[in-house]
Structure 1
Amino acid sequence: MTAASAVALDVEGLSHAFGPRAVLRDVGFTLTPGDFTVLLGLNGAGKTTLFALVTRLYHSRDGRIAVFGHDLRQQPSAALAAMGVVFQQPTLDLDLTVQQNLAYHASLHGMAGSRARLRIGEELERVGLADRRHSRVRQLSGGQRRRVELARALVHDPALLLLDEPTVGLDIESRRFLIDHVRHLCRERGLAVLWATHLIDEADDTAKVIVLHHGQVLDQGPVPQVAERAGAGTLRAAFDRLTGGGR
């Protein structure tokens, strides 16, 4: 493995504006395989815009994004093929079955039918929904739908997973399942994860964190180090100090 390919996601000097309003300012960070990195910021910090740039929903004017060494501008197909995404807003077709939603995603990634069926079965088994594969999505609970979206994001076996506020609106049990499942994937499969949230308790002391505030990265690194640099005993206290109490 080359040095470039050992970096799952490399973001350098990324800035973005909507008209005169700057949303991101010189954002930079790297993720390596096995990292569970929490992108922590209040609503309006720029997290969703950052995800839109990394997934190429928007085009970045300033800065560079690379996925396992593939520049997103120059090699978009290779970069996007290496990532799976769970967006903040639900994107499942409610009138299709779970199987049909995942099969459509597999076809977009050029997966053959037999391979797709195998991978769909594996991922649904991992999220505990193998018995609901023929249910229409509208028949599922909110937590189950989120699990389907996670399974869909992983069907094509990406090495980088992006999740934008994946636990919003979920109950405690569903939140815990998603966090534990994704952390397990980091440990067991070496998946690199960028988990965006405004919920501080979703970043424990074993995670890495990127504190994003008003479009700028205020600090980043292992949670204990970020807390120590801020002169705080907890991440919550460090976040308050770094952001001036969220102002």
Structure 2
Amino acid sequence: MNALEVSDLSFAYGAREALRQVNFSLPAGHFAALLGPNGAGKSTLIALLTRLYDVQRGDIRVGGHSLQASPRPALRQLGVVFQQSTLDLDLSVEQNLRYHIALHGWSRRQGATRIDAELARQHLTERRHERVRDLNGGHRRRVEIARALLHEPRLLLLDEPSVGLDPASRLALGEHIRQLCRVQGISVLWTTHLLDEVQPSDDLLILHQGRLVARGRADSVSQAHGGTLGSAFSRLTAAGAAS
């Protein structure tokens, strides 16, 4: 079963189409980069995947469950890290995670076990009592990832997660997330507009003017459309390319 299936997805703001018949799937354990220029429709797609917007046409299935027909089981399979941080800066790392556990209605014992596991996985155990305000940007992102994984979702959605990070932190975060895919079998959809965040072996989706103009392994897409990812991206997102 695929972790994510998007079928004939379209969405419009009045007369303006933001997404037009988008189709793709994401198998278990895969890292997929969703790449597109500003205004391509990435933010609209994220809003639909997280149910901030209701689907107008088409369907989204997470872990086999339709977001429209079965939203609760679908959302239980989804972990999300938004572009803008939603952590409470004045609480400690552990307090932020405990608040999330409480929202899920888990017992304190269950929560403690999951928190210990995710703090260890994100290399944050020694920082559990530090205030989030005192962490650097990379460690704050790891706290958000730990929080998103507490309920053991099948799909992790990261919306421009490297915004505000320095190059070394961006690279380390990307490697860390790919390692989670390999070791835990989690599927990841990582949205970005930065070409250097995409590796040749990644699954790649290129969105332009609301249409999915390319999908496949990044190296295959590059070879089919110019030889390098930069040239392929330029060609696929040129004026009128999606019309």
- Structure 2 distance, partners of 1:235, 1:170, is 22
- Structure 2 distance, partners of 1:110, 1:158, is 16
- Candidates 208, 219, 233, aligned match of 1:239: 233
- Candidates 49, 52, 55, aligned match of 2:44: 49
Is residue 163 from structure 1 mapped to residue 155 from structure 2 by the alignment?
no
Runs (4+) of structure 1 moved beyond 6 Å?
Answer: none
Consecutive unaligned residues in structure 2, runs of 5 or more: none
Is residue 225 from structure 1 mapped to residue 229 from structure 2 by the alignment?
no
Deviations 1:188-246 (A, max 9, x none): 1111110000011111111010000111100101112212322x211111111111179
Residue 106 of structure 1: SS of its match in structure 2? helix
Amino acid at match of 1:241: R
Partner of 2:206: 211
- Structure 2 distance, partners of 1:69, 1:15, is 20
Partner of 1:182: 177
Consecutive unaligned residues in structure 1, runs of 5 or more: 1-5
Equivalent residues, number: 241
Equivalent residue runs for 1:24-35 within 5 Å: 24-35=19-30
Is residue 118 from structure 1 mapped to residue 94 from structure 2 by the alignment?
no
Q: Report percent identity of matched pairs.
A: 54
- Structure 2 distance, partners of 1:184, 1:210, is 20
What's the TM-score, normalizing by structure 1? 0.93
- Structure 2 distance, partners of 1:58, 1:245, is 28
Contact 1:81–1:109 (Cα < 8 Å) also in 2: no
- Structure 2 distance, partners of 1:143, 1:188, is 21
Q: CA RMSD in A?
A: 1.5
What's the TM-score, normalizing by structure 2? 0.95
Partner of 1:201: 196
Partner of 2:59: 64
Residue 63 of structure 1: SS of its match in structure 2? strand
